[in-house]
Structure 1
Amino acid sequence: MRRHGTVGLMAALPLLAFCSLLAPARVQAQGDPAQSQAELAQAQPEEPEALTPEALAPEAEASEPESTEPQSSQPDPLDADQAPEPTPEPAELLEGQPEAPAGVDTTIPVSPPQTAPLTPGPGSLAPESPTEPKVLISEVVVEGLDGHPEAERLELAVYDAMVVRPGSRVSRSELQTDLAAIYASGWFSDVRIQPVDGPLGVQLVVIATANPVLQKVEFSTADIKLPPEVLEDTFAADFDRTLNLNTLQARVQELQTWYSDQGYSLARITGPSRVSPEGVVELTVREGTVQGVEVQFLNREGSATNDEGEPIRGKTKPWVVTREISTKPGEIFNRRNLEEDIKRLYGTGLFGDVKVTLRPVPATPGEVVIVLGMVEQSTGSLSGGLGYSQSQGVFGQIQLQDTNLIGRAWDMSVNFTYGQFGGLADISFTDPWIKGDKYRTAFRARLFISRDVPQIYQSQDNGNINTASDFYEAPSTSVAYNINSRSNPEGRRFDSVNEAEDESPGNSWFDYDGNSIAIQRVGGNIQFVRPLNSGDPFKRAMWNIVLGASAQEVRPINFAGESMPFGVSTNNFDGDEAPIENVVCVAFNCASSNQLVALRVAATRNTLNDPRNPTSGSFLSVSTEQFVSVGPDSPTFNRLRGSYSFFIPVNWLKFYRGCRPEPGEPTDCKQALAFQVTAGTNIGDLPPYEAFCLGGSNSVRGFSDCDLGVGSSFGEATIEYRFPLFSIISGQVFIDGGTTFGTQSNVQGNPGGLLNKPGSGFSVGTGLIVTTPVGPLRLEVASRDFSGDWRFNLGVGWKF
């Protein structure tokens, strides 16, 4: 017990008189002495989740008869100009009050009013009536804390909360304000103020019951998202100390913040629902459960019904929508997960808008139904255009496509392309997610027929290899003769190579057609793509595995569609005769057609931060494709290929305003150093049209398509610096290098050597990239080995 102050200048008031003045009442209900600490801690004024004590309103007081004296006749006890009045006698204080029966204790603890502030400031006293009498307090004593481990600190908390001091005159309302302030300190479960007639005057005895020492905090529900270590860390500073309800409320808010930061925006923590005398605090958490997911189709105006009041019927199957939602019925609602789900729905390209509504379930508080309002967009399209490529020349294209075939998100397209040097017709089908597959496996299939002029047999400056329908090579000859020319040992033309062979078997003969070599392919392929996501279809998987198979028939032809299994280099060929090495087989085994059947396995690893214009991360791709023989003109070989790209963010050039933001503005500067290394090799009986080509807009850019080299193996490397210039225009500076590792002669007929392709080289250049709705357009200029020979490229998208 600690005493504060003693005043002995005034005679002590009788106890009964002060009790009548205070007309006190207990704060805590008297009828249930076993009332739990939790009831006091959980109660709060006004706010449903506050952790303040229970209502502080005093119990009903006995009505007092109105005073017959006029208000003006009462002097103000705080008015300095008034002469001090003598302390009221007990008979005056009790005037008009019923007398207490003999033996009955008239001392009743004072209760703070319901409307009293929880944290009154120093000196903030409750309003008082001018007629409210005041008495002089000689001493303030705190009791009830003896033996408590923090008794001294708690006593100081009582004194610090009170405005009343020894030597001051106080009224009943002022005591109620002090009582409310003691409760608002958060340290006590019960507080009473009792006046005692002491030797020097009226003593105020504050009887305080402290909250228990905090030992443990637990939740009423065992299976919750909050990790135990977070709970322990939050209350670590409070264990083994007296429970403070204000601090408890702050800690609960910290736990609530953790839930919000983790995306559990519907979670609510309340309590304590129980506080045991042993110091165990029990909290209640309602995390917010998803009862179900509903799909609702909306029109473009956002209405769920048409003009006749009927529900909008969507084309898309509802399961196509719900399979993109990671939150399942019975799971805890998470805002972050739902945001990712919405991104995936937009990523399907099937919906123009997605509206999300959380509908509470009245029968089960804390549960919601996720209602997805889907605004479908048109998924069918008919498009066309003109373009140019080195293999097809100027070409026209028309495409019919539906990306939501029969509402199952299937993508099917029919494409037809026709150009100067070839054409293409194909039908492709893609199922982006096989229904019911937890690994999110995709299936793709394609049927095609194509004709193009392979750049393997073309050269920008050193002639071409043109078509020949037949060839006979006589032993020990170095020259072959064109049967369509008279300049030969027989001095006449022949109708066929067989005729020339019969008449002059000691000479080599070929039937020169003179057109560019075209390759016709008819076939199809299928492939399965599976992300390595451990069976979680919503997990971002860095690795993807591809399994595929293909089959095609390949025919070398001329523009008329006639079979042309041979070719003749125009170098050292005057139309009459050509060196024997200048006559080559275009197809494997010099056949009129080849059958290629292959199985393919590939793997990719993607950590890029942006699939379109990355500035950090890497991309790795490795593959092997095994071709198996199905006949005498069907080769067996294996193709291995690998590529690795990585990006390093930099901020060197600051032309674009986003690269030099003002203080407080975010940085918007997609600037990076980009590196790529690519290599491949073929092992086995390689058809020449399947050889690797070096040079072109997606290879070594200072060379025309396939003009650097043709080999059975190759390697390329690129270093590129990318930087923004304006919001939609970026610049780049690059250096490319490539080599066939001396394998040009390994290709059947050595087309690269016949056309004097160097086999290795490098280029440096620069370019502009313009962002358009159809993708980035790339305009570049690059040198050829610093030779001063510059080449312009026009491409779509970044090189890598």
Structure 2
Amino acid sequence: GKTLNLNALQARIAELQRWYADQGYSLARISGPTRVSPQGVVQLLVKEGSVAGVEVQFLNKEGESTNDKGQPIKGKTKPWVVTREISIKKGDAFNRRQLEEDIKRLYGTGLFGDVKVTLRPVAGNPGEVTIVLGIVEQSTGSLSGGIGYSQSQGVFGQVQLQDNNLGGRAWDAALNVTYGQFGGLADVSFTDPWIKGDKFRTAFRTKVYLSRDVPQLLQSQNNGYFSTVSKVSSNLFNSSPTATAYSNSANGSPWFTLDGNTVAIQRTGATVSFVRPLNGGNPFKKAPWSLVVGVNAQEATPMNFGGQSMPYAVSTNNFNSSGNTQVQNVICIAYNCQNGATSNQLLGLRLAATMSTLNDPRNPISGNFLSLGTEQFVSVGQNSPTFNRMRASGSHFIPVNWLKLYKGCRPKPGQKKDCNQALAFQLSLGTNIGQLPVYEAFCLGGNNSVRGYYDCDLGVGKSFGEATIEYRFPIFSIISGEVFIDGGTTFNTQANVPGNPGGILQKAGSGSSPGAGLIVTTPVGPLRLEAATQNFTSNWRFNLGVGWKF
């Protein structure tokens, strides 16, 4: 009903043009008025700018699309591996913000060193462009090695051969071999991060492995360990727990024959799993929830370092002067060893779900992470147990700004704040129900558990609970600090583990551990050096680990 003012109209058109640009529609053009009807209706022409298609062009490290002979650069990666990460399709309106998110996803695959975007106008179709992606591939094959130390393997060496773009399909295949003082590991793994053609972005993972290590639940730092036993009398496990078990069959009955080695567990098996984000069929949607369904099949064999099967063990810290001990100190390592079992077959069906709202998966300062899982082991024979394992873990991060040691926590006017500082909480719970083999019990203590205790030195339980409160703060650009307190308990279930190894080795079953540490950011990830004490005593332990605890 107002009189048309062309100057005011042009100002409004410019305003609308800016709105389109702010929303990411950088090719949008508004012109007019193209027509003013007798009724005073003003008609404008809006061309949003559409996409004619997406093309992939491979470049060398110098950014050139041809070689010295003028031939196009051939890439290893299949073009569909690139284009499936692009949400903008043929016929869509071009949106710069949307394309930027797509490029971030391409970098997130870890396959490409650089991605150059060119918008090529389509002849004869004004406002229509073809998106040309100039791809510079990274080297995806690697051979690496190193040395380290763990309580279960002692000093060990490791070699890994890996290609994370096998066949140009973004498949990740790896061969890993680890050999140490007390054991070793060899495995071949394969991962397809996104099954081709699946709109849910489902991933497939599988691994075949052979491992041998010393189970820390049969060790203690100050109260001895379990040693291998080669034979026992037929009546040993039917005798009174407090009766004498003789170390030589000639001395009396019940008896056992001491082999004298540290117990090792050899596992041979394979795992298969599928991981699906709950994205509703939109592969580009950031879905906080994911589901995991998998199968784990393995054979577990207790043995000595010579590779001989040893289904029994005896606690070394309970011998009398004659080398005898009580019957209760001789335990079955293999499930059903009372009936002659020397190894066990484990077949597990796993269902798990994870939820993450973390702002940064590597060094979060806000958000939550939740993991829920159950694994049902089903019997496939006489020496195959049936039991269920359930675990749950949750983390919560609150951003704070308490200590301002790092200059990024004290920005000057006009400077951007750079202060990754958080108060972090973690709670973990787990329980086993059914015919639990000894070597499948939960362990408390270690670098990623209650840190003032050695691996599995706090407790061995059928159930467990752990909690941590941790304050993280930056000190320098690559160095951060942490102050924490850990706590853990087996909920008095040590005696419910067959043979009660935790009780025999006098493990506390519950305890707390305050401590502090430094974290150094390196090209291979964060390295943390920590000092923690047991239950506020003068008994300190130093840890060297990779990555944050959670």
TM-score normalized by the length of structure 1: 0.67
Question: What do you get for the CA RMSD once the two structures are aligned?
Answer: 1.0
Name the SS for the 2:246 alignment partner.
strand
Identify the residue that residue 479 of structure 1 maps to in structure 2.
244
Counterpart pick for 2:295 among 540, 549, 574: 549
Counterpart pick for 1:586 among 333, 338, 343: 333
Counterpart pick for 1:341 among 73, 90, 102: 102
1:783 equivalent to 2:544? Answer no
Identify the residue that residue 275 of structure 2 maps to in structure 1.
529
User: Deviations 1:629-670 (Å, cap 9, x if unpaired)?
Assistant: 000000000001000001000000000000010011110000
Identify the residue that residue 700 of structure 1 maps to in structure 2.
450
Q: How does 1:381-392 map to 2 (within 5 A)?
A: 381-392=142-153
Alpha-carbon distance in 1 for matches of 2:437, 2:267 = 14
Q: Cα offset for 1:534?
A: 0.6
1:643 equivalent to 2:404? Answer no
Counterpart pick for 2:80 among 308, 319, 334: 319
Q: Cα offset for 1:420?
A: 0.7
Identify the residue that residue 121 of structure 2 maps to in structure 1.
360
Q: How does 1:735-750 map to 2 (within 5 A)?
A: 735-750=485-500
Q: Cα offset for 1:449?
A: 0.2
Identify the residue that residue 222 of structure 2 maps to in structure 1.
461
User: Deviations 1:727-767 (Å, cap 9, x if unpaired)?
Assistant: 00000000000000000000000000000000000010000
Alpha-carbon distance in 2 for matches of 1:730, 1:279 = 67
Identify the residue that residue 475 of structure 2 maps to in structure 1.
725
Identify the residue that residue 63 of structure 2 maps to in structure 1.
302
Identify the residue that residue 33 of structure 2 maps to in structure 1.
272
1:761 equivalent to 2:511? Answer yes
Alpha-carbon distance in 1 for matches of 2:19, 2:462 = 59
Identify the residue that residue 664 of structure 1 maps to in structure 2.
414
Q: How does 1:40-51 map to 2 (within 5 A)?
A: none
Identify the residue that residue 197 of structure 2 maps to in structure 1.
436
Counterpart pick for 1:774 among 508, 518, 524: 524
Alpha-carbon distance in 2 for matches of 1:746, 1:358 = 67
Identify the residue that residue 261 of structure 2 maps to in structure 1.
515
Q: Cα offset for 1:483?
A: 2.2
Q: Cα offset for 1:247?
A: 1.8
Alpha-carbon distance in 1 for matches of 2:178, 2:124 = 61
Counterpart pick for 1:795 among 542, 545, 548: 545
Counterpart pick for 2:324 among 577, 587, 593: 577
Instruction: Read off the aligned partner of 1:742 and give its amino acid letter.
Output: N
Alpha-carbon distance in 2 for matches of 1:256, 1:686 = 68
Instruction: Read off the aligned partner of 2:303 and give its amino acid letter.
Output: I
Per mean C-alpha deviation after superposition, the further-off stretch among 264-273 and 733-742 is 264-273
Q: Cα offset for 1:771?
A: 0.3
Q: Percent of counterpart pairs with the same letter?
A: 71
Q: How does 1:670-709 map to 2 (within 5 A)?
A: 670-709=420-459
Alpha-carbon distance in 2 for matches of 1:678, 1:601 = 17
Identify the residue that residue 141 of structure 2 maps to in structure 1.
380
Q: Cα offset for 1:341?
A: 1.1
Q: Cα offset for 1:253?
A: 2.0
Q: Cα offset for 1:552?
A: 0.3
1:558 equivalent to 2:304? Answer yes
Name the SS for the 1:592 alignment partner.
coil
Alpha-carbon distance in 2 for matches of 1:635, 1:278 = 84
User: Deviations 1:231-272 (Å, cap 9, x if unpaired)?
Assistant: xxxxxxxxxx32222222222222222211211111111111
Q: Which runs of 5+ in 1 are unaligned?
A: 1-212, 214-240, 490-506
Instruction: Read off the aligned partner of 1:483 and give its amino acid letter.
Output: N
User: Deviations 1:59-115 (Å, cap 9, x if unpaired)?
Assistant: xxxxxxxxxxxxxxxxxxxxxxxxxxxxxxxxxxxxxxxxxxxxxxxxxxxxxxxxx
User: Deviations 1:481-512 (Å, cap 9, x if unpaired)?
Assistant: 1128x7x34xxxxxxxxxxxxxxxxx111111
Q: Cα offset for 1:437?
A: 0.4
Identify the residue that residue 164 of structure 1 maps to in structure 2.
none
Alpha-carbon distance in 2 for matches of 1:562, 1:310 = 61
Q: Cα offset for 1:476?
A: 4.4
Q: Cα offset for 1:555?
A: 0.1
Instruction: Read off the aligned partner of 2:282 and give its amino acid letter.
Output: D
Alpha-carbon distance in 2 for matches of 1:242, 1:746 = 88
Identify the residue that residue 51 of structure 2 maps to in structure 1.
290
Q: Cα offset for 1:703?
A: 0.6
CA contact (8 A) 2:239 2:327 kept: no
Instruction: Read off the aligned partner of 2:245 and give its amino acid letter.
Output: A
Instruction: Read off the aligned partner of 1:639 and give its amino acid letter.
Output: R
User: Deviations 1:112-171 (Å, cap 9, x if unpaired)?
Assistant: xxxxxxxxxxxxxxxxxxxxxxxxxxxxxxxxxxxxxxxxxxxxxxxxxxxxxxxxxxxx
Alpha-carbon distance in 1 for matches of 2:159, 2:13 = 63
Alpha-carbon distance in 1 for matches of 2:229, 2:124 = 84
Alpha-carbon distance in 2 for matches of 1:674, 1:736 = 12
Instruction: Report which structure shows greater RCO (CA 8 Å, sep ≥6).
Output: 2
Alpha-carbon distance in 2 for matches of 1:634, 1:257 = 69
Instruction: Read off the aligned partner of 2:325 and give its amino acid letter.
Output: A
Structure with the bigger percentage of strand: 2
CA contact (8 A) 2:239 2:254 kept: no
Alpha-carbon distance in 2 for matches of 1:369, 1:268 = 17
Alpha-carbon distance in 1 for matches of 2:47, 2:109 = 34
Alpha-carbon distance in 2 for matches of 1:516, 1:254 = 78
Name the SS for the 2:97 alignment partner.
helix
Q: How does 1:395-414 map to 2 (within 5 A)?
A: 395-414=156-175
Counterpart pick for 1:417 among 153, 178, 185: 178
Alpha-carbon distance in 1 for matches of 2:461, 2:168 = 46
Alpha-carbon distance in 2 for matches of 1:569, 1:790 = 26
Larger radius of gyration: 1
User: Deviations 1:430-475 (Å, cap 9, x if unpaired)?
Assistant: 0000000000000000000000001010001111011112222345
Alpha-carbon distance in 1 for matches of 2:536, 2:55 = 64
Alpha-carbon distance in 2 for matches of 1:249, 1:466 = 89
User: Deviations 1:19-75 (Å, cap 9, x if unpaired)?
Assistant: xxxxxxxxxxxxxxxxxxxxxxxxxxxxxxxxxxxxxxxxxxxxxxxxxxxxxxxxx
Alpha-carbon distance in 1 for matches of 2:466, 2:226 = 26
CA contact (8 A) 2:319 2:325 kept: yes
Name the SS for the 1:798 alignment partner.
coil
CA contact (8 A) 2:332 2:499 kept: yes
Q: How does 1:623-634 map to 2 (within 5 A)?
A: 623-634=373-384
Name the SS for the 1:256 alignment partner.
helix
TM-score normalized by the length of structure 2: 0.97
1:608 equivalent to 2:358? Answer yes
1:716 equivalent to 2:466? Answer yes
Alpha-carbon distance in 2 for matches of 1:767, 1:404 = 37
Alpha-carbon distance in 2 for matches of 1:786, 1:363 = 78
Q: Cα offset for 1:279?
A: 2.1
User: Deviations 1:510-530 (Å, cap 9, x if unpaired)?
Assistant: 111111110000000100000
Name the SS for the 1:508 alignment partner.
coil
Q: Cα offset for 1:277?
A: 3.2
